[in-house]
Amino acid sequence: MREVGAAIAFPVGLFVFSRLSLFLIARVSLVLETRLYRPPFKYPGLAGLEAFCWWDCGWYTGIAQAGYTRAQATNFFPLLPLLGRMVHELTGLSIPVALVGIAQVAGLLALVVLHRLFRELEGEEEARTALLLFTAYPFAFFHSAGYPESLMVLLTALAVALSLRGRHGWAGLSLGVAGLARHLSLLAGFSLLYQQLRSRGGGVRALLHRDVLALLIPPLLTSLYFLYLWRTFGDPQLWWKVRAQGWGGAWAGLGDWLRGKWAPEVGLYVVVSCIPGVGALLLLRQRRWWVLAAFALPLMLVLWTVGLVGLGRYSAAVWPAFLPLGAWLARRPALRDPIILGCALFQGMLVYFFVHSYPIN
């Protein structure tokens, strides 16, 4: 028991410190300045956890309350609102607070899983630095908001960790559930495939092993949502088709950004996304990191292609990219603390904007 406590002490301590800091910034800033960027234009009373339920969190709240009553809502996958509804029914908490609470639990577990995974791949000091950088990343505060990013990080990291241990069925199950949180989670299937091929020496014969069937679990589980859309709306592809109904910017990419005029915050997303983008490329430097590169590189390419307006929070979920960055900083202590502190301060500014309902989403 003592060994388990020692193993999780760092990620748990980091979680507690980071979340207390975020909630303190939110509460103090909203006490000092109650004006909001959009209706109701003034925060009603002192800020609680509900201050982290803006923008898309409102969509998840509506789905948790009434289900998928509008076609546009199908763009949001069902795991988070389903869990929010369950927590609301069991505890009596408001749905916004339930959604934010779920993000905290998932965020804590994600840090524990990532710490162990990074430590096994690289070492304790590198794992700690990578976790610090991951937590301080300017848009990492979305892992504390009523969004599915923390669930995506937890479940994809768990899937990769299970795959590395040869537990391919459980890895597929974890990734399948992740797909119900955010469909881009399924790109981690490349990591699962790579690990299976590597563990059996590669080649065609490796693809004939029975464990390869576990790779079918993620798309099958995620397709349950498409089956629901077919039964409810008569169209299993509705979530994809509604992207043209007011979600155009969310499906834009770097090419659209270069050709058009976008709000200033979008340019910020693009610049900051270069941090995990570089980290994803650095995963190619070490063969032992390739299992993570198989997920991080396709994910960054997809985000840069079709994730422009949400690129800030989306890129915060590219957790593999922070291992090589952490390993690099761990060998340069003179740079480590200033860089991590600078990222954390930048994140604090973005938290101020987010809880005051500025368009940081």
How far are the Cα atoms of 16, 89, 95, 146 from residue 99, in angstroms, in the given order? 18, 12, 6, 5
- Is the confidence at residue 3, as pLDDT, over 70? no
Confidence of residue 205 (pLDDT cuts 50, 70, 90): confident
Task: Decide: 320 and 280 in contact? Cβ < 8 Å.
Answer: yes
d(CA 121, CA 108): 20
For the segment 39-52, the average pLDDT, to the nearest whole number, is: 80
Percent of the chain with pLDDT over 70: 95
Backbone angles phi, psi at 42, to 5 degrees: -150, 135
Q: What is the pTM of this model?
A: 0.95
Provide the pLDDT for residue 340: 97
Do residues 325 and 281 lie in contact, with contact meaning Cβ atoms separated by under 8 Å?
no
Contacts of residue 27, Cβ cutoff 8 Å, sequence gap at least 6: 46, 47, 48, 51
pLDDT at 52 over 90: yes
The predicted pLDDT at position 121 comes to 95
DSSP letters for 112-126: HHHHHHHHHHT-HHH
Supply the pLDDT for residue 80.
98
pLDDT tens digit string along 224-246?
999 999 999 999 999 988 876 76
What mean pLDDT do residues 270-286 have? 97
Residues 6+ apart with CB under 8 A from 29: 351, 352, 355, 356
For 309-327, how does the pLDDT look when each residue is reduced to its tens digit (9 = 90+)? 999 999 999 999 999 999 9
- With a CB cutoff of 8 Å and minimum separation 6, the contacts of 39 are none
- Which one has a higher pLDDT value, 47 or 139? 139
**For 155-191, what is each residue's pLDDT tens digit?**
999 999 999 999 999 999 999 999 999 999 999 999 9
